[in-house]
Amino acid sequence: MPWRKYKVKRGKHGPSYHVAKGVTVRLDARGSWVIYIHKGGDRRNKTIGPGRESLVNAIKAAETIADKFGNITNDHKPFVKKSDCPRFDAYSKEWLEGNAGRWSPDTYLRYSDVLRLHILPDKRFKGKRVNEIERSDIKKILRKILTTHAPATVEIVHTILCGVLDEAIDDKLLESNPARNLRKKILPPKRQRNVKEADVFSIDERDLFLQQAEKVCSWGELLVLKVMAFSGFRLGETLAMRFDNLDSHKMAYHVVESYKLHRFRKPKFGKTRLVDFPEFLVEEMQRYILHLKEQGLKAGTGGEVDLLFLDLKEYNRWPYSQRRIQETMKKVCRKAGLRIRNPHDLRHTYATTLLMAHQSPAYVKEQLGHSSIAITVDIYGHWLPGEGRNGLEEALAGPVRNQGEKRIKTHI
């Protein structure tokens, strides 16, 4: 952090940082950070505000003022000594917490997990100070991760390293960022990357999977899997299902929100949609809702039903977690003797099943909630059924004007 390079003294109301001759930053009686400037007989001050962010801004503003004066003191060099530089692990965690307010909770959790699982345990970073990290270290860790993980994981690792080291530049711990522009040296262009194919179930596999799920899952868990398999919902959209959004007469459900990590939000792309349900799924949903009402009356909590997939482990306050459904899928796949899939593969299975049954790609696009039909075709285009070479010659010949005339002649 930018104040680390300045010796701190205890002022009347708190810390005081001597930035340069005649320029100090200190806390006032109101708890705000103030820049004090003494030049000749002229004395001025500027209040920045309370809190850590205000301290950062005050130090930077004080350095700018000192640069104009040309009198930054010699004992405050622009970069800290190597031995005084903080260790990378502590500094990166401070960076994570300091920037958490700029990100969504999902982004923060993802960055936290990647930092904990992929970066900090690596021997190239363990125990090193921020200014001991070499460009070659970063290259090696990115290449290592690429051998076992998707390019998207490598991108996140690079983004985190760039963010931490950029902040180190702001704090005068580094002169340049050793991670800068490394991603394009490690990863191939996006169009040339091997994107993981959807691992769809065949209809027989899907039915076997759901038969096994009936044996090992609770009714709520089973319905989560069935909704994804027979309506193409995303997992978060399924977990956020509410009684009021189910239209039994139209046999449809109005998707208006998604759920993850104790937060409800709009569906992907912010797009709500009305999704058709098969009749058998609507009937089972009605039986399940009646069951929830009966359970509520027995428990003395009333017969009102709102969220459909509440988790007992969450004291019926929140739906099942995404991780729980992911683990449930693994368990069911193992019991059924099928290779492990993830919940999103049920959505893929729904889409491909419809397309191979000659449903319109435009209809499938609306059911899935894609922002454009191009996305649907890009993902599932190779599942669109063709008729082989049937009628190929006629199509190429075009319309025939005279039955006795051939449009295309062969030349020997």
Q: How confident is the model at residue 11 (pLDDT cuts 50, 70, 90)?
A: confident
- Single out the residue of 322, 300, 320 nearest to residue 310, CA to CA: 320
The mean pLDDT value for 322-348 works out to 95
Note the pLDDT tens digit of each residue in 108-149: 888 999 999 999 999 989 889 999 999 999 999 999 998 888
Note the pLDDT tens digit of each residue in 285-298: 999 999 999 999 98
- Single out the residue of 139, 146, 259 nearest to residue 193, CA to CA: 146
Amino acid at 183: R
CA distance 229 to 51: 50
For residues 309-340, one letter each, b for 16 or more C-beta atoms within 10 angstroms of the residue's C-beta and e for the rest, the string is: bbbeeeeeebbbbbebbeebbebbbeebeeee
pTM of the model: 0.62
- Single out the residue of 7, 12, 53, 57 nearest to residue 30, CA to CA: 12
Q: Are 303 and 293 in contact (CB under 8 A)?
A: yes
Angle at 161 between CA 160 and CA 165, to 5 degrees: 120
Q: What domains appear along the chain, each with residue ranges and CATH number?
A: 2-78 (3.30.160), 83-192 (1.10.150.130), 203-346+366-371 (1.10.443.10)
- E strand or H helix that includes residue 67: helix 52-69
CA distance 225 to 233: 10
Q: How confident is the model at residue 198 (pLDDT cuts 50, 70, 90)?
A: confident
The mean pLDDT value for 322-343 works out to 95
User: Does 409 score more than 50 pLDDT?
Assistant: no
Both tokens assigned to 196: 């993981």
User: Does 19 score more than 70 pLDDT?
Assistant: yes
pLDDT of residue 219: 96
Note the pLDDT tens digit of each residue in 43-97: 788 888 888 888 888 888 888 887 776 554 434 444 556 667 899 999 999 999 9
- For residue 232, give the 3-state DSSP assignment: coil
- Single out the residue of 83, 92, 97 nearest to residue 131, CA to CA: 83
pLDDT of residue 77: 45
Q: How confident is the model at residue 9 (pLDDT cuts 50, 70, 90)?
A: confident
